[in-house]
Amino acid sequence: MNAPIRSSRAESGFSLIELLIAVLIAIEILVAAAIAFDVHNRAAVVQTQVTDLQQSLRVAQYDMARLLRMAGRGGLPKDQRPAAVFVPAAPVPELAGLALEIRNNVTDATDRHIARGDNSSPQALEGTDILTVRGCFSGSVYQLQTNVFVPVDTDVPPDDLGDGTVSFTIENVSTANISQPLAPLIEQLNVANARSTMIFLSPVSRRTYGVGRVTQFSPTSGNPTQLQVTVDIDPDDRSSSLNQEIPRPAPYSDLKRGMPATMSAALACLLEEYRYYVQEVHEVPGDTTTPLRPRLTRARFEPGTELPYANDPASFALDLADGVFDLQVALGFDSDFPATDPNTVGALDDDPDFDGVDDTIFEAALGTNDRDTDDWLYNDPGDDPTDGEWRLHDHITQPGKAVKLTWVRVTTLARTQRGDPSYQAPDFDATPGTDLVEDHDYDQAPASQFKSLDNRKFRRRALTTIVDMRND
C-alpha cells in the first residue's frame, strides 16, 4: 500500500521578510513610545520647575506683604521724614522712614552689603532694592498703667527731651480689663544676646511716641501678674553697650530717639526690624566666575542698628525663595502732581469730597515725560527722591503739610533653577530703552546679563503686589 502523502505547509514558519517587517514595526512602536515618554517627561520636569517657581514667588510676596501691612504697628510712624535736610553722604538717605526704608537699586557705590559698613555681611545683587520694615510684628501691644511712665529732662540747659532711664509696670490685666499675658513678652526679653527695643505711644497722639532699649526687667520667668521694666531713653547716650552702633548724621542718628519730657505712655511693645533683599549667591559659594544662583532672603536686625539680631550672623540670611533675581519697590504718595494746576490731578485733601482726579494716586504711562513726576516714587529712572514733592505739599489748599505715603508696590522676578537647552525665553522688550522693571533698566549692565542667550534658557516669571499700609 502506498504511504499517505503529508503536506509540509502546516509545518512551515515565518519567512525572513515577514520576520524583518514584524521587528521593524515593533522597533517603531518602541521608538514612538520612548519619544512620547521623553516629551511627557520633559514637560513634567518643566511644569514642576515652573510650579516651584510660582510657589516660591507667592511665598515670598506673602511674607513681604504681611509685614508691610503691619509696618509701624505699635506706634512707629511710616512718614518719610518730610522736614529732613538732605545729606547725600548720610548712610541713611533722606527718604529713609521709620516704619519703612528703601535702599533703591543698590550698587557698590551705595554699599550692597546688607549691613552698612560690615563687609562680612551678605551682599544684595547689584541693581536690586533692599526693603526694610519695622514694627511690632510677632508680639502683643501692651497697655501700661495710667501715668506711670513720665520721662524727666535733666539736661542743662533743658532740651525738653527725657533723659536717662524710665521704669514702668505692665499688668496681666489692662486698665480696660483686657487680658494681656506677660509670659510671651518675658520670653522675648530673655532671648540670649538680644538688645530688646520697645516703642512707647502717647495716649494723646500717634505723633507723640518714643523708642528705648530695655536695660532691666523683673521677674525674668514665669507668667506673673505684674512685670517691672526699665528702659534707656536718652538719645545722646553712647555707653559701652552701644559702642558697636554705626553713628548716623542727624536727623538719622538712631531709632532710640528722645521723648517729650512731659510725655506719658499708654501702649508699649517690642520693636522688630527686617530687611528683604536678593542675595548674590553663586554655584560655588564665593566664586563669582561660577553661574549665579540668586535667592530672596530676609535678614533680622537689632532695630536701629547694623547688628544682626541676638548678635547671631545667621540672622543676616533666612532664605525665602530660590531663583529670585530682582526685587523692586515703588512708593505711592498722595502728592500734588501736578502742583501748579489745581484743576488737574492733585492731593486727596485738596477738596472735601472723595471724587475726581485729585482723589487718585496717579501713575503716568510708561515712557511718557510725566512718569518721573507722578505720584509714584522709584517707578522711573528719572525719579529724584530728594525732590520736595515727596515731602511737603505746596498746593494752595494745604501748603507745608506732609505728603502721605499711601501704597507700597513690590515686584519680584524669578527664574527656574535649571536652564533648558531647547528653550529660549523672549527678550524683555526688543525696543532699546524700554526694558524697565520699575526704575531698574535691563538694557544697562549688570542687569543686561539676564538678557544673554545663556540666561534666556531659563523660564521666568514676575509677580507684583500692591500693599495698603494699615497703620496710619
Summarised one tens digit per residue, pLDDT across range 287-329 is 888 888 999 999 999 887 888 999 999 999 999 999 899 999 9
Can you tell me the distance from the alpha carbon of 392 to that of 394, in angstroms, rounded to the nearest whole number? 6
pLDDT, mean over the chain: 79
What DSSP character marks residue 100?
Answer: E
Percentage of residues in the chain having pLDDT higher than 90: 27
User: What pLDDT band is residue 96 in, cutting at 50, 70 and 90?
Assistant: low
Kindly indicate the confidence band of residue 26, based on its pLDDT and cuts at 50, 70 and 90: confident
Is the model's pLDDT at 128 over the cut of 60? yes
Query: Residue 242 pLDDT > 50, yes or no?
Result: no
Task: Report pLDDT digits (tens) over 212-225.
Answer: 889 899 999 988 99
pLDDT band at 241 (very low <50, low <70, confident <90, very high): very low
239 or 32, which is more confident: 32
Return the residue matching grid coordinates 549692565: 445
In the chain, what are the domain boundaries? 51-133+274-468, 142-270
| 140 phi/psi in degrees, rounded to 5 | -85, 160
Reply yes or no on whether the pLDDT at 400 is more than 80.
Answer: no
Report residue 241: phi and psi, to 5°. -70, -15
Predicted local distance difference test score (pLDDT) of residue 5: 56
pLDDT of residue 95: 46
In tens, the pLDDT along 41-88 reads 776 666 777 788 888 888 889 999 999 999 989 888 776 553 333 333
Residue with cell 543698590: 106
Cell numbers linked to 245 = 552702633
Query: How much of the chain exceeds pLDDT 70, in percent?
Result: 77
With a cut of 70, say whether residue 423 has pLDDT above it. Answer: yes
With beta carbons less than 8 A apart as the criterion, state whether 198 and 231 touch: yes
Q: Look at residue 338 in the predicted model and tell me its pLDDT.
A: 57
- pLDDT at 439 exceeding the cut of 80: yes
pLDDT of residue 390: 78
Read out DSSP for 370-424? GGGGSSEETSSTT--TTSGGGTB--STTSTTPBPPEEEEEEEEEEE-SS--TT--
Residue 159 has pLDDT above 70, yes or no: no
Rounded to an integer, the average pLDDT of 222-250 is 60
Give the three cell numbers for residue 150. 513720665
Q: pLDDT category, 117, cuts 50, 70, 90? A: confident
Least confident range from 66-70, 165-169, 236-240: namely 236-240
Q: How confident is the model at residue 403 (pLDDT cuts 50, 70, 90)?
A: confident
Residue scoring higher pLDDT (361 or 275): 275
Poorest-pLDDT segment among 252-256, 276-280, 345-349: 252-256
pLDDT above 60 for 342? no
What is the band of 417 on the pLDDT scale with cuts at 50, 70, 90?
A: confident
Q: In the predicted model, is pLDDT for residue 205 greater than 60?
A: yes
